[in-house]
Chains A and B, each alone.
Chain A
């Protein structure tokens, strides 16, 4: 290919930056899978909801999405906690196949709610920095993507500290692998499930705030990201937090490069080739434990 190296370098860097936010979406999915052992089919709808929340914060209250990120994370932690505690947990009665249906139903309800409130038109916000770039050597990096990358790293570090060094994090990890033992030392398993779900949803809120300056919002927008997030989770290894972040970066680069070489509209093909390849060659993913 006759592309100059700077262009390729720039595509790789921008891929890494975008991929980080994909990783953030995948993080919530993989965390919930790792601890609750369920695939949350409402993940995309919750992301959509978070993007609308960030949109409303901007459009009605004039709050910049980057400023809104932390308050939204707190709000969506609460929403996630309550959804798991009051809806998914009780409705599933401990049966995983019920959970699948419950989260699927939940996603339909949320999507239709968004459709009723916001109609089906796409919306976007107009922040002054949307098109800003940061010069990094010979390449130009999009400012919103750099912010998204930094936010993802910050969330990753915060999660690492939480999981390694706090009693709450240790309790979450204990419940993930040994529910009975956890209950016997006095860990409230239902509470830990809800906290985990809440953390996953809070990750979505931050991702939403990072995506909003450069992406449109529509009632089904979350699904596109979650499809990519599924690929990332499979690539990184189901339940692996590090895998989600690294997988996100890989997928971001793959998307960016295949966009560069195959054309913008085919950018996602590379992602699904990876998906199939991983399933064939290494079904446990890069960081996944064997069954």
Chain B
């Protein structure tokens, strides 16, 4: 048995490697250097290059947009070991992800756990084809860290809900086809009056207004709902029990954000520093920056090991104790420290905002954007609260 499985996996690896080599266009094996090199799909989805389109369609035919979901939901039906091999082989070649969508990373896991079979078949199949671009409607003007304070209300009107209110910080809100929303369906209790609703952004009464960020970019929107009719079948899970789904989805969001790593993997920070600062007697010429880089690289390497340990502990059936809040906090903290240090390493060049040489201030804009890491998906402070209470069991009074 054992050996047979091994043989099968080995041949899967070889086949996969061969297929990727034959089908992934060369330019899709280059590191991503700009957000528009990712394909987000949806009804407004535009390919930024011919190769990107070819690559997406190849993976679509292979059912590898979401390789690890069951085939009845449109996935590739790979088991975890096969999926792992596919990931390894893709990173070996440097293949880009063919498609990015909050439907895959956030909504999908929640649907798999809480939706009806009918909903799963309908929505997951769409997600696997990249047809729908999903956005997240959680935060409101008065419901940020205190998310359960949300007020957007959904009234029961027999065959539909009538939704009125507004959401804020909706990432890519103006580009979304559907929004997964937390709405208030009862005012009797704060946490148990919330429901999880899927809303078509083309419905009458939905409008968005872009918000410009300190990075100068505008990937955000405010989303308004003015008496929007939403069919009852768009409710996921039980009425008034949406908070359970909301929290489950957040753990996936945190894992995704915690994994925000380097955007430019071509050079390590120390290599960048050697180019910009130079070396004296084989050592980086500025000893203060040198020790900051060493300290950061130490923590990055050990954080990677900690992710691996958590996975291995999980496989071995142990609870490693490290929760998604910890990974979100620490992963984003390191990513932010790195952006900060990158500015020190690159000196005057790092603050250029519009010049051509600076690729329209790429570096400076990344730095500004990175400040959001400790806010989105629950702030640093909120993650620390969760660790203190849930993991360490510290008292509330």
The answer on A and B forming one complex is no
Interface residues of chain B, those whose CB is within 8 Å of chain A, are none
Interface residues of chain A, those whose CB is within 8 Å of chain B, are none
